[in-house]
Structure 1
Amino acid sequence: MNIVLFEPEIPANTGNIGRTCVATGTRLHLIEPLGFRLNEKEIKRAGMDYWKDLDVTVYDNYQDFLNKNPGAKIYMATTKALNTYTEVNYEPDCYIMFGKESAGIPEEILLENKENCIRIPMIGEIRSLNLANSVSIVLYEALRQNNFSGMNRVGHLHHHSWSESL
């Protein structure tokens, strides 16, 4: 899987998303301009000691991202979409793009990709969910659809097995 952040602005969100990407074996793509420097302590604090293990690529702009990922299947998360994030079938190598915290993905990009726009349902006039939460929600649905390929699906207690206590 691939998560794409279009011009992210808040370092703590990007740090948290980076940690989620490491935990799920997902690549992170950052499209500049960024609202922070990648060496900021807020990113490292949110990403904790996982940031060094992150597979991350930074692009000069959206066109640079497209040029370096030709033919990529890109789903675009936006509150303006007609389809919910559960109504699509995510390919194992797809890209899921999220816009910057203050404005989302620009409408001209959304209009070029209407059929691949997805939304997380919300009630009322809530503008949007937190970016890191939104990424987690959609990414885990995509991973679920792909049977959590390569991920640990069973946990273990240190002193007892689950079957002993049942």
Structure 2
Amino acid sequence: MKNYTNTYPLSVALFEPRIPQNTGNIARTCAAFNLPLHLIKPLGFSIEDKFLKRAGLDYWPYMNITVHQNFELFNQSLSSSNRLIGFSKSAESTLDKLKFTLGDILLFGREDLGLPDTTRCMCHKIMSIPMPGGVDPNTNLGVRSLNLASAVAIAAYEGCLNLDLL
């Protein structure tokens, strides 16, 4: 099986994305940072969805997108030099503390459910993005999570900066 990930310093993967506009925006962000994007089925939309295409604007020729039939096949495409870095709002480690390495793959879960435990346990690390306006543990008030496209953009920028890719 061809290994799609070991030739890139950083990649983004979406586990079963549900919202085409988010995925289109993420694909556009990946094109801007020259990062490949892996979409792991089942998807909540068609690859031909008009909202997906509209969010990506006219940048589709610059996008490097691979669609995987399921997480197991995606995981089989990884090499030993790839670390799977999962993202979750409930991680104990934060993105600002992560030392990126070449070959890292930033894995983001579904907009509605995040990453399931069976997928999280396959990750080398689980990270969150620090949010000063996040939920206050005393009052339970505040922002619970970022939009998926925003979270990917923040993590991709941080990874590119950390690896001197900018």
TM-score, normalised with respect to structure 1: 0.84
Q: 1:20 corresponds to which residue? A: 29
Q: Which runs of 5+ in 2 are unaligned?
A: 1-9
Does the aligned pair in 1 maintain the 2:84–2:122 contact within 8 Å? no
- What is the SS of the residue equivalent to 1:46? helix
**Aligned equivalents of 1:54 and 1:21: distance in 2?**
7
Aligned length: 148
**Aligned equivalents of 2:85 and 2:44: distance in 1?**
23
Q: 2:63 corresponds to which residue? A: 54
Give the AA of the match of 1:34. L
1:86-113 C-alpha deviation (Å, 9 max, x unpaired): 1111123210000010000002222343
- Which structure has the larger Rg? 1
**Aligned equivalents of 1:93 and 1:107: distance in 2?**
23
Q: Which runs of 5+ in 1 are unaligned?
A: 152-166
Q: 4+ runs of 1 displaced by more than 2 Å? A: none
Q: How does 1:9-158 map to 2 (within 5 A)?
A: 9-71=18-80, 72-113=82-123, 116-122=125-131, 123-124=134-135, 125=140, 126-147=143-164, 149=165, 151=166
- What is the SS of the residue equivalent to 1:90? coil
Bigger share in helix = 1
TM-score, normalised with respect to structure 2: 0.84
Q: Quick one: percent identity of the two aligned structures?
A: 37
Alpha carbon RMSD of aligned pairs, Å? 1.3
Does the aligned pair in 2 maintain the 1:74–1:94 contact within 8 Å? yes
Q: 2:7 corresponds to which residue? A: none
Give the AA of the match of 1:129. L
